[in-house]
Amino acid sequence: MKTSFKEQCIALRKEGYSIIEIMKATGRAKSSIHTHIKDIPLSKERVRQYKAASGERIRKFALARKGKSARAFKTFDEWSVDSVLLIAHLLFDGEIARTRCAYNNRSTALIERVEQLMHEWYDFEPSRYYNKMTGVSRITYNNVALSSYLHTKSKELLRLVRSMSLDCKREFLRAFFDDEGCIDYRPEENRRSIRGYQKDVGILKLIRAILVEVCIDSHVVKPNEVVIVGKENLMRFEQEINFSSGVYMNGNRSNSRWKKHIEKRELLKQAIKSFKS
């Protein structure tokens, strides 16, 4: 005697089959099966077994996904001037945290530069913020895997930059002085210097060492700055590195000497011209 579909469902259920397993065995839809077995619960032991198996599948999936993102990004093995510039900016005026990386600056030119550089490796737009009180813009990339990768690359950059090409070293220095640098130009006090600030004294010493390689003399002033003085050094800095176009001294600061925004590179030019021949 041929077993009916209903009888088949009931028999399988009584043997401890889940509704998914009955679907596989019969080839029928879930809704059709549920009608016949809805009043036949699984035993507590069978429920426990299914929950344990489900939990194990979830754990394996989570481990496989750990550190990965649906928003993929490109990686690189060889350093280029662009990759050096991007990572350096994130190091100096940004942050590379566990779940995100970000960059902060008043300069629209530098914010746009970092966005354009990031687009070479990551196709997704950042979150954007603007602080009306300070005039500082912030872009943030919320991607755990990307942040982890860039954190590793930032450590690698600090370790390897001295062995890189001169072009890469120049970009590293340019990022530092664009982000952390200023011009101290007070002709009435005979002061003309380029200063760069950084809490990490190890990075200051690294900056000084790379400056030597482009024939610029500097010294580290504790606790937190590297200083370049002298006409020849300032001229050499302008030729080899210089500040980027669109990077300004902040004229809104209460202690601003110029009381207006002025490009750092223009102020550097004025400082050099003011030296007596």
For residue range 64-115, what is the model confidence (pLDDT) as tens digits? 555 555 578 999 999 999 999 999 999 999 999 988 999 999 999 999 999 9
Question: For residue 258, what pLDDT is reported?
Answer: 55
pTM above 0.85, yes or no: no
Instruction: Name the percent of the chain lying above pLDDT 90.
Output: 60
Domains and CATH numbers, the chain: 5-65 (no CATH), 81-163 (3.10.28.10), 174-273 (3.10.28.10)
Distance CA 239, CA 234 (A): 9
Question: For residue 216, what pLDDT is reported?
Answer: 96
Distance from the Cα of residue 141 to its chain's centroid: 7
Question: For residue 50, what pLDDT is reported?
Answer: 73
Question: For residue 158, what pLDDT is reported?
Answer: 97
Please count the residues of the chain: 277
**pLDDT tens column, 208-238:** 999 999 999 999 998 899 999 999 999 999 9
Mean pLDDT value of segment 8-32: 84
- Residue 206 — very low, low, confident or very high, per pLDDT cuts 50/70/90? very high
Mean pLDDT value of segment 25-35: 83
Q: Average pLDDT of the chain?
A: 87
- Are the C-beta atoms of residues 109 and 245 closer than 8 Å to each other? yes
Q: How far apart are the first and last CA of the chain?
A: 115
- Residue 130 — very low, low, confident or very high, per pLDDT cuts 50/70/90? very high
Nearest to 169 by CA among 239, 121, 241: 241
Examine the pLDDT at 54 and tell me if it is beyond 60: yes
The better pLDDT of the pair 259, 82 is held by 82
Instruction: Name the percent of the chain lying above pLDDT 70.
Output: 89
- Residue 148 — very low, low, confident or very high, per pLDDT cuts 50/70/90? very high
Examine the pLDDT at 253 and tell me if it is beyond 60: no
Distance CA 213, CA 128 (A): 37
- Residue 23 — very low, low, confident or very high, per pLDDT cuts 50/70/90? confident
Instruction: Transcribe the chain into DSSP letters.
Output: -PPPHHHHHHHHHHTT--HHHHHHHH---HHHHHHHHTT-PPPHHHHHHHHHHHHHHHHHHHHHHTT--SS-----SS--HHHHHHHHHHHHSEEE-SS-EEEEES-HHHHHHHHHHHHTT--SPPEEEEETTTTEEEEEE--HHHHHHHHHHHHHHHHHGGGS-HHHHHHHHHHHHHHHEEEEEEGGGTEEEEEEE-S-HHHHHHHHHHHHHTT---EEETTTEEEEESHHHHHHHHHHT-PPTT-EE-TTSTT-SSSS-EEHHHHHHHHHHTS--
Question: For residue 26, what pLDDT is reported?
Answer: 84
Question: For residue 256, what pLDDT is reported?
Answer: 52
The better pLDDT of the pair 9, 227 is held by 227
The better pLDDT of the pair 38, 185 is held by 185
- Are the C-beta atoms of residues 199 and 224 closer than 8 Å to each other? yes
